[in-house]
Amino acid sequence: MKNGIHPENYRKVVFKDISNDEAFLTQSCANSKETIVWEDGNEYPLIKIEISNTSHPYFTGKMKFVDTAGRIEKFKNKYARKK
């Protein structure tokens, strides 16, 4: 690996899956404006994600329809044939 190309500012961060409210604590250097109080009583930066291993069909074995912010309707409107 090349020296000096990797970030040095890793810190503990909470990632929260907004589709099922599951959260996990890990290390990251991603920026966040929000914070959350974790189970240990400490406050950590919060990063919201739309899908994780707790909600992805590959890991859960269940098909789940997730349509956030009407993406399907936006797609259909964008690519609908004009009559």
Burial of 23 (0-12, 13-18, 19+ CB in 10 A): buried
Rounded to whole angstroms, the Cα distance separating 56 from 63 reads 8
Does residue 24 surpass a pLDDT of 80?
Answer: yes
**pLDDT band at 15; cut points 50, 70, 90:** very high
pLDDT confidence of residue 65:
60
Q: Is the pLDDT of residue 54 over 80?
A: no
Q: Percentage of residues in the chain with pLDDT exceeding 90?
A: 39
Instruction: Return the amino acid letter for 64.
Output: K
Location of structure tokens 């009407």: 70
Cβ atoms of 55 and 17 within 8 Å: the answer is: yes
Quote the pLDDT of residue 47.
92
